[in-house]
Structure formats: structure tokens, C-alpha cells
């Protein structure tokens, strides 16, 4: 019996051994295509990774070329710039792929379009089993040299000190002449960079102590406007009368013999005036002179108009006689700034040239810039310039010219230029917030810009500038702010420089321009920054 069992066991082991050999052979045959398929997937994933890196490198190269001013580079230099940026991000000796030199061509139908393409070879590992030693991957993109969509407000200082130059004693050439040249240049740069002129709009907002909105808001001598309705009244609701006891009318020509209203306004604020002891108006930092009310600014403004014989201290006394000490003299400064300041008087003293609403009319923009003047008297109210910079960009009243906030592929931006800090000359000067005694500054004491404990008018005005800048930059509005401090005192070690630095969207968007030459550099740098590019494919 034992012998029989032993014999049977041997036969079974022999059979199993034979069957196991068949299974191994069958598995080996099936493993070849499985291994190849897995290997192809690995090689394909490697090729895809190379393609992604290749695309990122080409994007960087394309944007570097597109952001270059073509007037400053030859085609060969642009090609070299493209290679430098591409190979910095994808080395020629990369172990994961061998790139060919990238190519750049200008679209034959539109020289604003630049086409870029690059290929690379990727060595395979598993595909070699079927005779495929390399894979070729390629990427292409197209850069549009131009503006994705830009609405820009140039908020420009037109105060009397802009007559001065870089030296002492108001030397020439004046800063206002440099401003005219440089503001014209930024307009030309942006228009030249724009592939689609309909997607670029620029507004001009000159400011002194107030802003001139007369023509821009549709004022007429007989019909008034929604901004300043007829008949023109002061902040207390009293009719504004001329020397002949007639209601004043709108007259933008501002000749000496027609003492009418020129178009500048006094800002509305959050609470009605309450003479004679009002010192709390807008103290809560919620007024419409530094924030946008729901639905926009729909409340009327008050006409900025210095009445004759406003006070008995020799300030702004005027009439229509030939007496040079009292005759209206409120045009721009033509000569010595000190003499002009002392002799300036009249109903529109300190009222600058009118603002220009958003437009792509190059001629209208240049005409506005070329008409800028340095205006004597009235002080400096930077935050009033800024709030009108916001208003011209807003999709809401009073103008409603801007696109909706945060519209995709549109940018809203402001360039604020000033050669000084906020200023209230004295209690006798009419300002964009009326006279100091009217309480619209939240204080009837001028004081200092840097002393919060005093709660003075100057400190409150400086805080308003910070508030309006913060509100413009807020996510709901997302307005990009560039600031330029012109003159030796506009650096980060001064109160003025710190204020402008804080107002800018980020530190890189603040420019200290101690001289007229550096003002040109600042404007050009901002123009290049604004002339942004976008990948259209």
C-alpha cells in the first residue's frame, strides 16, 4: 500500500510541475504589452511635463519682449531678449528635454500681435522597445502689444508753486511746463501701445483748492446742470449775487469784466452746515468728499465763488473799477509768483482749467494738457483732486462714464502728481471746503498735518486724503493708484512723501521726483507699467 501511495504522489507532483510551467509562460507573454503600455504612459507624462515647463518659459519670454518699447530695441535685440528670458526658465541643456531656439514673428495683418513658438525633444525610455527614441512637443502663444482695457485719470497739481522750477526763488523752467511735457508723453505712450483705441480712455483732473467741473457737468448760463442747479446758492442756501445784485451765471471765459461763476465747486459733506459754531461736519470720516455713496454722487454741489469784500483785511477785495488794488485779477500766474499771489483776487480765484471726462480723443486730451496753468491763491486740497479722479472713473453719477467696477479685462487707474502737501493758507481764503469758519474741515483751527491730538483742519484734510485713497483701492472698487511727489521735499523722509507713499497702491507705485528730469522718468515708468500686455491665445 505504501508503495502505491508513493507512486501516486510522484505522478501528481510531476503533473503540477508541468502545469506551473504553462502558467509562467502565459504570464510572460501577457506582461510584454502591459509593461509597454505602462512605459508609454510614463514617457507621455514626461513629455507633458516638459510641455508645461516649455509653455511657462515661452510665456515669460513673450511678455518680456512685449513689454519692451519697440522704439528702443532692434529686432535682433528683441530676439536676444526673448532667448535670454526663455533659456533662463528652460536651460538649453535641461536633462528632461532639449529645446529648439524659440521663434518670434509679427502678425502680418496687425503689427501689435506677436506670435511665439518653441519645440523640444524628449528622450524616451520605454518607447524605445518599439523603435520610438524621442518625442517632440511644441507650444505657441500670441501677445497683444496694447491695453487690455484701461480707464485712467491724471490728477494734476496746478497750484501756484508749480510755476517754480528746480532751483531756489522760483527758477525756470517751471514745473508746470515739465508737467505739460510729461503728461502729454504718457498720453502718447499709452495710445501708441493700444491695439484697440476703444479700450483706452483717459480723463484729466487739474486741481488747486478745488476742481473745475462746469463744462464737464453740462452747465449752461440759462439751464444750470444736475451738478450745480440754478439759481446758484452758497452752502447755507443763500442766493449768490454779483456786484449789481443779480444772480450769477455760468461763464467759463472768466474775463475781468464778467465776474460770473467759472465752474469750480465746493464739496458737499455729510451733514448740513450749522453756522456759526459747526466744527463737527464730516468728523466721522464718512462724507462724500472721500467715499462714494450708494448709487454715486447725486447730491448737488455749491458754486465756488468769492464774494466781493469777503472780509475787511485786504483779502480777495475786488470790484470793477480801474483801481489795480481791487480790480479782478484771477487768471493764471504769468510772472513772479509772489507778485501774482499778492495781486490775485476775484470771484474765481484759485479755480483751475476744467477737467476732461474719460475720452480717447487724443486732440482733446492734448489741448487740455497744453492749457494747464499755475493758479495763484486758494491753497492745496489734494484729496479734492483725488475724489474727482474717482468720480470720473466711476460707473455712477455724476458722469457715469466708467465701466462697472471689477469688469474682467479692464483696469481703472489714477496717477496723482503734486509738488507739495495739503494747505489752507489762512481763514480768509475760499477753498474747496468753503471758508475755514464754515466748519466743513471739522475744525476752525488750521493747525498741523501731523498732530492728531489737536484735531485741526490741516490734520483732518490729510486724513481725508488717506481715506479717499484707501476707499479707491478697496476690493469693491480696485482702482490702482500711482503717486508722484515732485520737488526735493517729496521723499519718504518727509510728511508729504509718507502721505503719497501710503496713498499709492503699493510702495513700487510711489515715485519721488526731486527734479523736472526725474518727473519725466517717473511718468515714463508709469506709462510702461500701465501699457500692460495680455496673452490672447
As a dihedral over the C-alpha atoms of residue 104, residue 108, residue 113, residue 115, rounded to 10 degrees, the angle is -30
Q: What is this structure's pTM?
A: 0.74
Flag whether pLDDT at 147 surpasses 70. Answer: no
Mean pLDDT of all residues in 254-258: 63
| Cα dihedral 496→497→498→502 (10° resolution) | 100
- Candidates 386, 396, 395, 376; CA nearest to 355 is 386
Q: What integer pLDDT is reported at residue 25 of this predicted model?
A: 53
| pLDDT in the model for residue 467 | 92
Q: Is the pLDDT of residue 14 over 60?
A: no
Average pLDDT over residues 316-338: 49
Confidence band of 255 (pLDDT split at 50, 70, 90): low
Residue 8's pLDDT band, with cuts at 50, 70 and 90, is very low
Asked if residue 384 lies in contact with residue 432, where contact means CB atoms within 8 angstroms, the answer is yes
Higher pLDDT, 264 or 148: 264
> pLDDT-based confidence at 333, cuts 50/70/90?
very low
The Cα–Cα gap between 433 and 441 comes to 7
Greater model confidence, 267 or 378: 267
Does residue 312 register a pLDDT over 50? no
Q: Which residue has the higher pLDDT, 74 or 225?
A: 225
pLDDT at 327 over 70: no
Question: Taking all residues of the chain, what is their mean pLDDT, rounded to a whole number?
Answer: 80
Average pLDDT of the segment spanning 47-75: 81
Q: When comparing pLDDT for 44 and 536, which is higher?
A: 44
Q: How confident is the model at residue 271 (pLDDT cuts 50, 70, 90)?
A: low
* Separation of alpha carbons 493 and 74, rounded Å: 41
pLDDT for position 299: 85
Grid cell, residue 420, equals 507739495
For residues 328-338, give the mean pLDDT.
45
Q: Are 492 and 153 in contact (CB under 8 A)?
A: no
Q: Does 337 have pLDDT greater than 50?
A: no
- pLDDT at position 170 is 66
Q: Which residues contact 358 (CB under 8 A, 6 or more apart)?
A: 151, 153, 201, 202, 203, 392, 393, 399, 401, 402
- Cβ atoms of residues 402 and 436 within 8 Å: no
**Cβ atoms of residues 389 and 127 within 8 Å:** no
Q: Within the chain, how many helices (H) and strands (E) appear?
A: 9, 13
Q: Which residues pair with 479 in a beta bridge?
A: 412
**Beta pairing, strands 302-303 & 265-266:** antiparallel
- Span 59-70, mean pLDDT? 77
Amino acid at each position: 500500500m505504501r508503495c502505491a501511495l508513493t507512486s501516486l504522489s510522484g505522478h501528481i507532483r510531476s503533473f503540477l510541475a508541468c502545469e506551473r510551467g504553462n502558467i509562467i509562460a502565459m504570464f510572460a507573454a501577457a506582461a510584454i504589452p502591459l509593461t509597454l503600455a505602462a512605459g508609454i504612459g510614463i514617457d507621455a507624462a514626461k513629455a507633458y511635463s516638459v510641455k508645461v515647463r516649455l509653455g511657462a518659459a515661452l510665456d515669460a519670454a513673450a511678455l518680456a519682449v512685449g513689454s519692451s518699447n519697440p522704439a528702443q530695441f532692434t529686432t535682433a535685440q528683441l530676439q536676444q531678449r526673448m532667448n535670454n528670458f526663455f533659456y533662463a526658465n528652460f536651460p538649453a541643456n535641461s536633462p528632461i528635454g532639449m529645446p529648439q531656439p524659440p521663434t518670434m514673428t509679427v502678425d502680418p495683418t496687425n503689427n501689435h500681435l506677436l506670435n511665439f513658438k518653441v519645440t523640444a525633444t524628449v528622450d524616451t525610455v520605454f518607447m524605445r522597445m518599439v523603435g520610438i527614441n524621442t518625442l517632440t512637443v511644441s507650444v505657441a502663444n500670441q501677445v497683444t502689444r496694447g491695453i487690455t482695457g484701461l480707464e485712467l485719470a491724471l490728477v494734476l497739481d496746478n497750484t501756484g508753486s508749480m510755476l517754480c522750477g528746480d532751483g531756489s526763488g522760483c527758477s525756470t523752467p517751471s514745473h508746470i511746463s515739465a508737467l505739460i511735457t510729461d503728461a502729454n508723453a504718457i498720453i502718447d505712450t499709452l495710445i501708441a501701445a493700444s491695439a484697440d483705441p476703444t479700450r483706452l480712455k483717459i480723463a484729466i483732473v487739474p486741481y488747486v483748492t478745488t476742481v473745475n467741473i462746469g463744462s464737464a457737468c453740462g452747465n449752461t448760463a440759462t439751464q444750470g446742470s444736475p451738478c450745480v442747479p440754478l439759481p446758484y446758492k452758497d452752502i447755507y442756501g443763500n442766493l449768490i449775487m454779483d456786484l449789481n445784485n443779480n444772480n450769477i451765471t455760468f461763464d467759463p471765459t472768466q474775463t475781468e469784466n464778467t465776474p460770473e461763476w467759472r465752474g469750480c465747486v465746493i464739496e458737499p459733506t455729510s451733514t448740513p452746515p450749522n453756522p456759526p459754531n459747526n466744527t463737527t461736519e464730516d468728523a466721522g470720516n464718512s462724507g462724500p468728499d472721500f467715499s462714494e455713496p450708494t448709487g454715486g454722487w447725486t447730491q448737488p454741489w455749491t458754486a465756488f465763488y468769492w464774494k466781493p469784500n469777503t472780509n475787511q483785511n485786504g483779502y480777495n477785495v475786488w470790484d470793477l473799477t480801474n483801481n489795480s488794488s481791487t480790480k479782478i485779477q484771477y487768471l493764471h500766474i504769468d510772472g513772479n509768483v509772489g507778485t501774482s499771489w499778492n495781486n490775485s483776487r476775484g470771484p474765481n480765484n484759485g479755480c483751475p482749467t476744467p477737467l476732461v471726462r474719460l475720452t480717447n480723443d487724443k486732440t482733446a486730451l492734448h489741448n487740455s494738457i497744453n492749457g494747464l496753468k499755475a493758479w495763484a491763491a486758494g491753497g492745496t486740497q489734494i484729496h479734492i483732486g483725488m475724489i474727482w479722479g474717482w468720480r470720473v472713473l466711476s460707473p455712477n453719477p455724476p458722469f457715469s462714464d466708467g465701466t462697472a467696477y471689477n469688469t474682467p479685462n479692464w483696469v481703472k487707474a489714477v496717477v496723482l502728481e503734486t509738488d507739495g502737501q495739503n494747505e489752507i493758507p489762512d481763514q480768509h481764503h475760499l477753498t474747496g471746503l468753503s471758508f475755514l469758519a464754515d466748519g466743513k474741515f471739522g475744525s476752525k483751527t488750521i493747525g498741523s498735518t501731523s498732530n492728531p491730538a489737536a484735531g485741526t483742519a490741516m490734520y483732518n484734510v490729510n486724513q481725508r486724503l488717506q481715506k479717499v485713497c484707501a476707499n479707491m483701492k478697496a476690493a469693491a472698487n480696485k482702482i490702482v493708484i500711482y503717486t508722484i511727489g515732485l520737488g526735493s521735499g517729496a521723499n519718504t523722509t518727509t510728511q508729504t512723501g509718507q502721505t503719497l507713499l501710503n496713498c499709492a497702491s503699493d510702495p513700487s507705485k510711489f515715485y519721488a521726483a526731486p527734479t523736472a528730469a526725474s518727473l519725466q522718468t517717473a511718468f515714463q515708468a508709469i506709462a510702461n507699467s500701465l501699457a500692460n500686455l495680455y496673452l490672447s491665445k
